Structure 1
Amino acid sequence: MPDFSTRRTMMVDTQVRPSDVTKFPIIDAMLTVQREDFVPVAQRETAYMGENIDLGEGRVLLEPRTLAKILDALDIAPDELVLDVGSALGYSAAVIAHMAQAVVALEDNEAMATEAQDALMSAGIDNVITHVEALEVGAAEHGPYDVIVVEGGVTQVPGELLSQLKDGGRIAALFMDGPLGEVRIGYKIDGAMSWRRAFNAGAPVLPGFEKQDAFTL
C-alpha cells in the first residue's frame, strides 16, 4: 500500500513551498486533502507528481504548484463564495473548501460530477455544491461569486461567466498562447474587468473557452 501521507508532505515541501506559497490555509488544505482520492483509480500512483494529470477528453487536473500559486494570488477569505469552473473529480473544490465559506463545483461531465460528489462526501467536506452545466455558462443560480477559479486553459473568458462575478470580486484564468500560458488575475471594478499577470503555467484549453474567430467576408 503506497504511503500517500508521506507523498502529500513531499508534494507540499518540494512543489508548493519552493514556489513562494506560504499562506497557512493553502499549505494546511494541501496537506489535509487526500489528492489520491480525487484522481481516476488507475492514476492514484501519479497523484502527487509535479505535472498536470490527464483526465481524458482534453481535461487535466492542474499540477499542485499551479493550483497553489493560483490560490495564493486570489487570497480567498473565509466568508467568500467561490465558483470552481471545471472542477473534474473535485480536488480543487476540496482544497478551496478549506479556505472559503462555500464552493460551487461546476462540471459539464455528469460522470465526473457524480464521482466528485462521492469523493467530497467521503472526505467529510460539506460546504461544496456540485453543479452540472456547460463550463462557459457558469452557475448563475448560485451566484454572484466573490471569486471564480478556472481549472484549465482559456484563450478568452466568456462574458456570461464574468457577469457572475460580484463587483469587487476576482477571477483566475490560465491564458494559453499556443503551448505557453500565463495565469492572470482579473478584478471587477465598477463592472469593468482589469487583468494582471501572475505567473507562467500550461494546460489544455477548456471547451467553450476558445477564442471565436470573427467572421469576415
Structure 2
Amino acid sequence: MSTPSVEQLRFNMIEQQIRPWDVLDPEILGLLQKVRREEFVPPAHLGLAFADLMIPLRGRPDEAMRLGQVMLEPKMEARLLQEVSPRPHEKALEVGAGSGYMAALLAGRAQRVITLEIEPELAKMARDNLQRAGIRNAEVREADGSQGLAAEGPFDVIVLSGSVADVPQALLQQLKVGGRLATITGGEPVMRATLITRTGEATFTTAQRWDTLAPRLVKFPEPSRFSF
C-alpha cells in the first residue's frame, strides 16, 4: 500500500475531522486547503501535522500542555474560526500566537491580524512561519495578551487560542459593536467553547457551543479558591 501524499492527508483531515464537526463554511474549508498546516508544525512533530490531537510546540509534551504551548486540534481551530467568521474588511486580534497557524487562518479572511505571544521563542516561531508562508497582513507581537491591546482596538474579531476561566472585561471592551470573541471557558473536567458578541455599547450576548478541553492561556486570572 502506498504512503498517502501530503495533499491526501490534508484532504482526510478536512473530510474526516473538520467537516463532521459542523465546519461547513466553504470559504473556511477552502482556506484549510490553502494554508499549509505542516509548515506551522515543529519539525520534531511533523508526522502529527494532520492528526486529531494537540501538538506541543516546545520542550516536553507535559510541560508544553501545562504552559499552554500547543497547537490546538485542527477541528478546534477550524470551528473557532467559523464561529467568529472574519470578513475581508475586519481587524482581528489573537491572544496566544503559538506557531502562527491560527493567525494565518485569520489573515486569510480578515484585512489585518495582530497576534500576541508572551513566550519569546514562540513569538519568533510564529513570526518566522508567517513570513515563510508569505502572509503579510498578520503581525506578531511579543506581549502579555491577558488585557488585550487597547491601543490598537477596537477589534471586529478576537480569538483566545486556549482556555480561560472567564473572559476579562478589558478584552470585551476592545470589541466593536457587532464584534465577536471566541474562546474556551471554564475549568476541568468540563469547559465550553464560548462565543461572545457585542450587541451594543454596554450589551453582550454569550453562546456556549460545545463541551471541550484546552490548556490554559497564561496570565489570565483564575477564580479564587476558598477553603473552609
When normalised by structure 2's length, the TM-score is 0.88
Question: Which amino acid is 2:10 matched to?
Answer: R
Deviations, residues 93-119 of structure 1 (Å, cap 9, x unaligned): 111111111111111112211111111
Using the aligned pairs only, state the percent identity.
35
153, 163, 177: which is aligned to 1:153?
A: 163
Match of 1:103 in 2: 113
Q: Which amino acid aligns with 2:7?
A: S
- Match of residue 202 from structure 1: 213
Q: Which amino acid aligns with 2:113?
A: V
- Which of 174, 177, 202 does residue 184 from structure 2 map onto? 174
Distance 1:77 1:187 in 2: 15
CA RMSD of aligned residues (A): 2.0
- Report if aligned partners of 1:184, 1:195 keep a CA contact under 8 Å in 2: yes
The answer as to 2:73 corresponding to 1:71 is no
Q: Cα offset for 1:50? A: 0.6
Deviation at 1:2, TM superposition (A): 7.9
Moved over 4 A (4+): none
2:8 corresponding residue in structure 1: 6
Amino acid corresponding to residue 41 of structure 2 in structure 1:
V
Structure 2 CA distance for aligned equivalents of residues 67 and 58 of structure 1: 15
**Number of residues paired by the alignment?**
217
- Please, which runs of 5 or more residues in structure 2 have no aligned partner? 58-63
- Cα distance in 1, alignment partners of residues 80 and 175 from structure 2: 17
Report what 1:122 is aligned to. Answer: 132
Q: Give me the TM-score of the superposition, normalised by structure 1.
A: 0.92
Deviations 1:66-93 (A, max 9, x none): 1111122222211111111102110001
Inter-CA distance 58–70: structure 2 relative to 1 (3 Å threshold): closer
